Amino acid sequence: MNVRRSAAVLAAVAVIGAAAPAAADPSPSPSQALPSALYGDGDPRYDGVWRQSLALLAQHTVGVEPPKPAVDWLAGQQCADGSFAPYRADPAKACDAETAVDTNQTAAAVQALAALGGHDAVTEKAVDWLKSVQNEDGGWGYTAGGASDTNSTSVVIGALAAAGEKPADVQKDGRSPYDALLKLALPCDADGAGAFAFQPDKKGELAANADATAAGVLGSLGKGLVTGPGKGATAEAGCEEAETPEQAAANGAAHLTEALAEDGHLTSALAGAEDQPDYGNTADAVVALAAQGATGPARKSLAWLEENAADWAARSGPAAYAQLIFAAHATGADPRGFGGTDLVKQLTATGPSAPEQATQATNGEEDKEKKDESDSGFGVWWFVGVCLVAGIGIGFLISGRAKRQQP
């Protein structure tokens, strides 16, 4: 899930999201000392739970047991109703109407804690909350009651699956999250055929969005942030009318394959930055393609990331390292030898003291520079919600999420 500079995001929101109310500030002054159990050293007000969830999930994926205080910190961020906000500086203070909870932080926390095990009460309560805020079209927006978008719906599908639910059975007014995703998939005769839109524009029209497409492929396959190679239809099948989630996923993968074909990477969707690589969304696209079974295109883009993404991850911090680990895992590559970088070692270094069995570095290298969260590939995970109001995405995944919508 990719990252966006605040100025660009807020400018986009001014144009696209005029109806969106300002979100409540989820934390006190950013000058407060950060919790020792938190991954990353940037302001956590908009992404604390998100980046913690991705970091813990990535460590678990490569066989590293995260430090217990880091896991406890994440579980302790939950509100009494089951939801999660991006960051609660004082978890002892009860959540109220001013606490800016959202579906994306909640779904990411579920995926991480479900994988780690031992937190059934936390994940069950979180899933109950997610079900309670499902929209009538079967999907989810970034915040409760917000218009459904592809990224939020997909990350919630991943949470449901991780918690042992069948996403198709989680319905509102007879509609499942897959119904919502099908409505957000572009038809084959449209510009951007087969892609997913983030959500309809003010005129109800859909526009292809690479970040949303990567998320939509995973969501349509019922997959979460972590997945291995799939066996679906490959891109060579082309675009066909999407009457099923599986066909929508195949169409989305074909669109991503075409978008990646020339350079091996996606480019930024921000005005004035269209010629700049988008590392986070490229990593998300690799995961989506691998999940669909398009291993050739996925490995080509992974090779590009191995050659080019190390500095971006060092600037961006834990969530970026996690995205690259997810991409390596999805394609069967070694995240400890990622183009000469040990992603696992680097990720672990952004968190609390490393567990004893953390990593055995092979072909690793020391950090070249102190992580600068103020210039993290596109800055601190700045106001993750408003990024997706603008429809420019933050990566599913949501790369982020990582890298959502304020209604």
Cα–Cα nearest to 340, from 290, 305, 377, 301: 305
Cα–Cα nearest to 394, from 405, 386, 385, 402: 402
pLDDT value of position 304 = 98
Q: Which of 11-15, 125-129, 138-142, 292-296 has the lowest mean pLDDT?
A: 11-15
Cβ 170 vs Cβ 160: under 8 Å: yes
Segment 14-40 mean pLDDT: 56
Cβ 6 vs Cβ 399: under 8 Å: no
Q: Is the pLDDT of residue 322 over 80?
A: yes
Triad 290, 294, 295: Cα angle to 5°: 65
pTM (2 decimals)? 0.83
Residue 125 has φ and ψ, to the nearest 5°, of -65, -40
Cβ 1 vs Cβ 277: under 8 Å: no
- The residues near 189 (Cβ < 8 Å, ≥ 6 apart) are none
- Dump pLDDT digits (tens) for 378-393: 333 334 444 444 433 4
Read off the pLDDT band of 310 (50, 70, 90). Answer: very high
- Dump pLDDT digits (tens) for 353-375: 644 343 333 333 334 333 333 33
Segment 109-132 mean pLDDT: 98
Is 94 exposed, middle or buried, given 0-12, 13-18 or 19+ CB atoms closer than 10 A? exposed
Q: Which of 267-271, 323-327, 359-363 has the lowest mean pLDDT?
A: 359-363
Triad 89, 90, 91: Cα angle to 5°: 110
Q: Is the pLDDT of residue 16 over 90?
A: no
| Whole-number average pLDDT of the chain | 83
Q: SS3 for 308?
A: helix
Q: SS3 for 225?
A: coil
Q: Is the pLDDT of residue 9 over 50?
A: no
Q: SS3 for 110?
A: helix
Residue 360 has φ and ψ, to the nearest 5°, of -110, 105
pLDDT value of position 41 = 93
Locate the domains of the chain by residue range: 6-31+38-177+224-233+306-389
Segment 90-110 mean pLDDT: 97
Rounded Cα–Cα distance for residues 242 and 187 (Å): 7
- Dump pLDDT digits (tens) for 182-208: 999 999 999 999 999 999 999 999 999
Q: Is the pLDDT of residue 313 over 50?
A: yes
Read off the pLDDT band of 236 (50, 70, 90). Answer: low
Q: Is the pLDDT of residue 143 over 70?
A: yes
How many other C-beta atoms lie within 10 A of the C-beta of residue 33?
6
Triad 140, 378, 397: Cα angle to 5°: 30
Alpha helices in 261-405 (DSSP H): 279-292, 295-308, 310-316, 318-331, 343-349, 384-389
Triad 154, 159, 164: Cα angle to 5°: 125
